[in-house]
Structure 1
Amino acid sequence: MKLLVFGASGAVGQAVLQQALADPRITAVIAPTRRALPSHAKLLNPLLDFAQLPRDASWWAADGLICALGTTRKIAGSPAGFVAVDRDLVLQVATQARQAGVPYLALNSSLGASLQGNLYLRTKAEAEAGVRALGFPRLRIVRPALIQAERTPPRRAEAVGLFVCRLFGPLIPHRYRPVQPAQIAAALLDGLFTAGPGEVIVESDQL
């Protein structure tokens, strides 16, 4: 089984990569990035300019795509830059994969994704709607709460949220408690082997 992973340099993507490379059912992992990843016998790591995705690369043809792309407004430099990654790049990657015949997509989204939400939640919801419209035979959308991970550079709003969660601990409903990247990665990968036809949404309290 061949797996395509986008966003492999982020917290969730790194966890996906680690689990996929360790899984004997997956024979090859293709993880395009801007900077080189540590080498592995099962890993193909094309170095890309994400502003110009190659349309004719043979590695688009895979058994599944896991998309863990994401940024912040601060890193992206503007709201428009954030949307360009978390919605537009996600849809470009998903479109290319679908055109190559990839039958399974797992998308890392967000708890509370909604077209009526703030910029972050609305962008996530628009990405969900966009990949849904591409007609993947099997689609899994994972909506985690705050992700408990070391960020470089740190994400201030996320750090504040994690501090509040640690402070109040068990008083916080399970749905809103922080989750580990490894939990999200496992949910994204699980559908590659177990999901039947159609769409599955995995909420944070299911992780």
Structure 2
Amino acid sequence: MKILLFGATGMIGQGVLRECLRDPQVAEVVALVRKPSGQMHAKLREIVHGDFFDYGPIERELAGFDACFFCLGVSAAGLGEADYSRLTHDLTLAAATMLARLNPSMVFVYVSGAGTDSTEQGRTMWARVKGRTENDLRRLPFRAVHLARPGLIQPLHGIRSRTGWYQAIYTVMGPCFPLLRWLFPKAIITTEELGRAMLRMVRDGAPTAILEAADLIALGAVPGPAAAP
């Protein structure tokens, strides 16, 4: 498989990238980044691109992919609906519309969020915007679109959030994760499980287009092909 990854330097993207690089069925991962990450791996190639609303200069490099894992996102904290919509809906659709034209046989996996409002009518701004983003993605002519809605995510293998206050919360909660996982086994997913679940969506398909935390945990709990250390 050849995979295009957005958001490779974020917490979720780091976890997804790790599982992709460990999977023997993944031949190449191309990470679209705004600046070089410094990470080196035989299967990893980075494309440095500054404008995530305009892909004209690099279109020729964005064809021939089996899947796109879109893990790029921003917090709604401090943003009005117009700004959040531009950085969530408009940015995502700019990439997805272009990719659907270049890669119609692609599986597009979008990391959304628990509580997303598919009706687009609710009171919570971020949930409405995410819902509109999901709905518009499902109208694009990909082979398949899967919408991942994880809840609380436990970072593993030294993965950290680049958002300072998020990381502070994860640092404080770290010792509590084993208990929380025991109390809420269908609500808390690890970065490892999420990465494996997204790979399975491409390899084996998924029972539904929208996958909530419990669905993702079930997919990610089943080991795929023998992974590299």
Say if 1:132 and 1:155 are closer, same or farther in 2 by CA, change over 3 A: farther
How many angstroms does 1:159 deviate by?
3.2
Corresponding residue for residue 141 of structure 2:
135
CA contact (8 A) 2:52 2:95 kept: no
User: With structure 2 as the length reference, what TM-score do the two structures score?
Assistant: 0.76
CA-to-aligned-CA distance 1:151-200 (integer Å, 9 cap, x gap): 233346x939x85xx5984796555x33222222222221111117x952
Say if 1:97 and 1:146 are closer, same or farther in 2 by CA, change over 3 A: same
How many angstroms does 1:17 deviate by?
1.0
Corresponding residue for residue 162 of structure 2:
152
Distance 1:170 1:10 in 2: 23
How many angstroms does 1:142 deviate by?
0.9
Distance 1:83 1:64 in 2: 24
Q: Alignment RMSD, CA only?
A: 2.9
1:46-195 aligned within 5 A: 46-55=47-56, 56-61=58-63, 62-74=65-77, 78-102=80-104, 103-114=106-117, 115=120, 116-149=122-155, 150-155=160-165, 159=169, 166=176, 169=180, 174-175=185-186, 177-195=187-205
Specify every segment of 5 or more residues in structure 1 that has no aligned partner in the other structure, as ranges. Answer: none
Distance 2:169 2:45 in 1: 33
Say if 1:99 and 1:195 are closer, same or farther in 2 by CA, change over 3 A: same
One-letter amino acid of the structure 2 residue matched with residue 45 of structure 1 = E
Count matched residues. 202
Distance 1:179 1:171 in 2: 12
- Identical amino acids, percent of aligned pairs: 24
Specify every segment of 5 or more residues in structure 2 that has no aligned partner in the other structure, as ranges. Answer: 218-229
Say if 1:40 and 1:173 are closer, same or farther in 2 by CA, change over 3 A: closer
CA contact (8 A) 1:83 1:123 kept: yes
Corresponding residue for residue 200 of structure 1:
209
CA-to-aligned-CA distance 1:78-117 (integer Å, 9 cap, x gap): 5433322221111111111101024211111111110225
Distance 2:47 2:15 in 1: 19
CA contact (8 A) 1:30 1:59 kept: no
Name the SS of the counterpart of 2:32 in structure 1: coil
Corresponding residue for residue 45 of structure 2:
44
Name the SS of the counterpart of 2:47 in structure 1: coil
CA contact (8 A) 2:7 2:71 kept: yes
Name the SS of the counterpart of 1:139 in structure 2: strand
One-letter amino acid of the structure 2 residue matched with residue 95 of structure 1 = T
Say if 1:185 and 1:89 are closer, same or farther in 2 by CA, change over 3 A: same
Corresponding residue for residue 11 of structure 1:
11
